[in-house]
Amino acid sequence: MKVSIVGATGYTGAELVRILSNHPQAELAYLTSESSAGEKLSRLYPHLAGHCDITLSTMAEIDKIARESDVIFVALPHGHAMKLGKQIAGASAKLIDLGADYRFKSPQVYEKWYKLPHVHPDSGAVYGLPELYRADVKNAKIVANPGCYTTASIMALYPLVKARLIDNASIIIDAKSGITGAGRALKLDSHFCEAGENFHAYSAVGHRHVPEIEQALCGCAGEEFTISFTPHLLPVSRGILATCYAKLNDGATPGKIAEAFGIYKGEFFVRLLGEGACPAIKNVRGSNFIDIGWHIDKRTGRVTVMSAIDNLVKGASGQAVQNMNILFGLDEKTGLTTLPSYP
């Protein structure tokens, strides 16, 4: 299977290379970078030296890349993938977009939150959160890989929304992400001396992952509601922890709550730690696992669900490979069974 990556020099691109190097069916074909075309990827990422010395191409060659690839991962800022997707719509290559372009059923929602007209609204893209929408992914041509915060948030809350155990209007998600979430681009907020020994929120109102979470949860509930979502920047490289609060509905017993999470039974990548457990980001580091625990507070009548993922793996590149495996009828965990790296 020939695999290409458009935008290979960001952290999600490098993580794709790492994961795919361990995948028995995948062979890297083209890697592109607009800023570093002509260089070897291993010059930008010396940890790959001797093991991924492919020379970087550019997006200008996308038609050729599409002809010679079975699947293309797009790891670019939003706005680019929809143009590429439209351009290569006639090619047989599947496209897995790690950005936001194909995540919304409604182009209007995309346009409202991303301030860009959608150029490929009839793409037929599906939302690639495999544990919830696996059937859709199987036959897709274009897969929208979910956002990192959204993967953690939706998977934590979906079971309770589906089982109608919580007051949806009461949902509050307090989320914390490692600094790879901000990418490899140089920003003061990512400077070691600014981010280290620091912690703060950002985009406290109106973060772009909000409509994505609402789309999934409202879709599940069959009703419209809004959620509160606050992202924070953690002084770690990798990892997201989502602490999700909701008011319990009458009759939401501990047993029914545990039962609701049973929808993940048999899911290799979901580890249900159960009631009373606090998942930790270090326990999933480097792996495609999502660890989920929950807490019921009788005094307040609230449930707190916590989920932990590695934002670069289950929150991006690992989930993308999981989607690729589904698209091509492979065992879903192929290339993704390495245990977390601890400590």
Q: Could you tell me which stretch among 71-79, 158-166, 239-247, 253-261 binds a second copy (CB under 8 A)?
A: 239-247
Q: Which amino acid is present at 317?
A: S
* CA pair distance 60, 268, nearest whole angstrom: 39
Looking only at residues 145 through 184 of this chain, which bind a second copy when binding is defined by CB under 8 A? 170, 172, 174, 176, 178-180, 184
Looking only at residues 247 through 276 of this chain, which bind a second copy when binding is defined by CB under 8 A? 271, 273, 276
- Site for a second copy (CB under 8 A): how many residues? 85
Q: Residues 288, 318: contact at Cβ < 8 Å?
A: yes
342 lies in the binding site for a second copy (CB under 8 A): yes
How open is the CA angle 235-239-242, to the nearest 5 degrees?
100
Which of 96, 308, 316, 327 touches a second copy by CB under 8 A?
308
Omega before 159 within 30 of 0, i.e. cis: no
Query: Max alpha carbon distance in the chain (Å)?
Result: 62
Distance (Å) of CA 242 to CA 73, 210, 297, 335: 26, 13, 18, 26
How open is the CA angle 278-148-132, to the nearest 5 degrees?
80
The least CB distance from residue 45 to a second copy, in Å, is 7
The least CB distance from residue 229 to a second copy, in Å, is 9
285 lies in the binding site for a second copy (CB under 8 A): yes
Q: Could you tell me which stretch among 102-110, 153-161, 222-230, 258-266 binds a second copy (CB under 8 A)?
A: 222-230
The least CB distance from residue 318 to a second copy, in Å, is 12
Which of 281, 290, 320, 321 touches a second copy by CB under 8 A?
281
200 lies in the binding site for a second copy (CB under 8 A): yes
Q: Helix, strand or coil for residue 127? A: strand
Active site includes 193? no
Q: Which residues are catalytic?
A: 148
